[in-house]
Amino acid sequence: MLGLAAATLLPLSAPVVVAQDAPPAACQYAQTQRLAQVADSGVREASALVASQQWPGVYWTLNDSGNAPMLYAFDQDGVPRGAFRVSGATNVDWESLQLGPDGAGGFALYIGDTGDNDQMRSDPVIYRVPEPEPAPPGGQPSGNQTAPATAFRFVFPGRAHNAEAMLVHPTTGEVVLISREVTGLSLIYRLPPLLDADLVLLTDFVDVVEVRAFDPASGQVTDATISADARHVVLRTYASALVYDVPAGASLATIWEQQPRVYPLGDGPKGEGIAFGYGTDDLMTVGEERPTMLYRTPWRC
């Protein structure tokens, strides 16, 4: 597993992880592999990815702006496992998707309608919806619509941002947003607890990550993910995965002064969504290419 201390950043051409009290190169991410073609024609511009914890081997994705408010399930072989219209939601510019607590002991999907290329939106929103039950292999889902979504509206202090990455802590529900900036300087914001959908929330500024220092070729964050045990966070760009450690019990707002470990991602020039695979430290990724492909970047020791 990824239980490693922070390490010295090395060139992307030869990423090596230095474990505390262990020889270098003990574990690292291997070359990205194309795993499967997603056979659902409705998935046109996959901007995010989530691995289900209730249904191992099932993944969720969504399309970004200009598309219907739909969630798509498929398995690791690319076989469709259901398409679900999100009840009570609209898709202005969906960019992120995370799995988190539903407040009743179950799992919910958190949809970040937070894309804003022109940085002019006054109405970003996060939808929280109970995770639907996907169809069995080769079967049909019991319905084609989710339970009603809860909409949490918020604003950024000062000015609007294009936030294409979101983190949701799998147990506490803490929400962190990461902006995508052409300058390569991503801003980190934290939302207050999502308790009252009648309020418009104000995000708290947390930190700045100089993404361009770790990934000069791209420098723009297109998605993020957190491991199921909440011990590791990954920011992704079009070219790289930036891996952060989360100390036990720590807030997601406290990790950004680390120097991340950097690994190349070989999932093409339009790679956007990223998630940890179920029960592993492998990184699963998708992008806006057509047809949609599922990739795996395996963790090797």
Asked if pLDDT for residue 48 goes beyond 60, the answer is: yes
* CA atoms of 41 and 56, how far apart (whole Å): 23
Please provide the average confidence, as pLDDT, over all residues in the chain.
Answer: 92
Q: Residue 9: what pLDDT?
A: 33
Of 212, 296, 197, 223, give the one whose Cα is nearest residue 262.
212
pTM for the full predicted model? 0.91
Q: Residue 24: what pLDDT?
A: 52
Contact 207, 185 (CB under 8 A): no
Higher pLDDT, 89 or 7: 89
Asked if pLDDT for residue 232 goes beyond 70, the answer is: yes
Residue 168 pLDDT grade (very low, low, confident, very high; cuts 50, 70, 90)? very high
Instruction: Kindly list the strands in the beta sheet with 96-101, ordered across the sheet, starting from the edge strand earlier in the chain.
Output: 96-101, 107-113, 125-130, 150-155, 200-202
Q: Could you tell me the end-to-end alpha-carbon distance of the chain, in angstroms, rounded to an integer?
A: 9
Residue 237 pLDDT grade (very low, low, confident, very high; cuts 50, 70, 90)? very high
Q: Residue 25: what pLDDT?
A: 60
Please, what are the domains in the chain?
A: 28-300 (2.120.10)
Asked if pLDDT for residue 285 goes beyond 50, the answer is: yes
List, in sequence order, every residue forming a beta bridge with 178; answer none if it has no partner: 165, 188
